Amino acid sequence: MRRKFRSHRTGKAKGRSRNDTRSNVMEKETITVVGLGSMGIGMAQSLLRAGHKVHGVDTDPARVDAFARDGGLATPFMEAVAESDIVVLVVLNAQQVEAVLFGEGGRAEVMRKGAVIVSCATVPPAFTREMAERCAALGLLYLDAPISGGAARASRGELSIFASGPQAAFDRACPALDAMAANLFDLGREAGIGSAMKAVNQLLAGVHIAAMGEALAFASSQGLSLERVVEVISQSAGTSWMFENRAPHVVEADYTPHSAVNIWPKDLGIVTAIAGQSGLPLPLTESALAQFRAAVEAGDGQADDAAVVKVYARAAGLELPGGV
C-alpha cells in the first residue's frame, strides 16, 4: 500500500497541518542519527528543523562538528543511544548495521526498552529479519526502512521510505519519519519486505544509471552535443529520472559524489544474490553491475555514479566534457 505521510497518524497529507493529530509537545523526540554522510546529514538536519533533539554520530569527527554547528548534538555514541527513543541508522551496509547494534560495547543493549531502530541501509532481506529478531529479544522495536530520493531530497525532508515492521515500530518512529520523508510505503508487518522492495528499486536505478552512461557515450560517438542530448531526451520517451538527474553531471564534468560509484557493486550485488537464490537470471542487472565494477577498478569508485559513463568512453577512446 502506498501512503502519504500522516497516514500513520502523522505525515504530510494534502490539506492537513503538521499539528493536526499530535501536539507540539508530543512530537518532539530525542533522536540519534548514526551516519552523517550525504544522506544522513540531510535527514538529521530535517529532524532538527522539525524541532527534535538530535544527536549526530559518525566515524568522521569533522561531520559531527559540522552538524553541531547546525544545532545538533555531538554526544558520545553510547550516551546518545541510551538517551534516545528513536535511533536512525544511515550506514553503508549490513556489516555496519550489525557493528553499530551488536559490536563492541553492545550499543543495542544500552537502548531503552521499547525504543525503535529505524534501519535505512540497503541490506539483504534475510539479514534484516535476523536483526529484527535480535533486537526484539532485547525489547527493542526494529523498522526495516530503506530510503530513496537522493541527497537533495534528504536535505529537504522529502525522501520516500520503503518500510515494514511491527505496527508498534511504525507508531513509535512516526515523529522521525514525518520529518525525514514525504511518502511512506507501508509494506506490511514483517521486517525484510522493505529491504526486498528497495532491492527492486536499486535494480532499476542501477540499470538506468548504466544506461544513461551508455547512451551519452553513444551520443558522443555520433558527434552529438551532450548538452543538446540531455535537453532533447529529457523531453522524450527515452528519459528516466536517473537520466535527468545524472546526465547533467556528465555535461558539467562535475563528478562530486552525491551517490558514489562504490554503492552500486554492493547494491546490485545484493540484487543478484537474492535472485540467485531463486534461480532467476538478471542479465541487464549483471551487465550494469559489470560496468560499475569496471569503474571502481579504473579508480572512479569515490566519484559520483554518473562517472560510469567513463567506462564506455575509455573503451571507445571518446572524449567527454572535462576528459576521462
Cite the active site residues: 198
- Residue 164 φ/ψ, nearest 5 degrees: -150, 150
User: b/e string for 289-306 if b means 16 or more Cβ within 10 A?
Assistant: bebbbbbbebebbebbbb
Classify the C-alpha dihedral 257-192-154-203 as positive or negative: positive
CA distance linking residue 219 with residue 43, whole number of Å: 37
* Antiparallel, parallel or unpaired: β 141-144 and 116-119: parallel
What is the separation of C-alpha 53 from the centre of its chain, rounded to a whole number of angstroms? 22
CA distance linking residue 100 with residue 93, whole number of Å: 11
Q: Give yes or no for a contact between 250 and 244, defined as CB atoms under 8 angstroms apart.
A: no
Q: Give yes or no for a contact between 271 and 202, defined as CB atoms under 8 angstroms apart.
A: yes
Lookup: cell for 36: 552523517
3-state secondary structure 167-205: HHHHHHHHHHHHHHEEEEEECCCCCCHHHHHHHHHHHHH
**How many other C-beta atoms can be found within 10 angstroms of the C-beta atom of residue 101?**
24
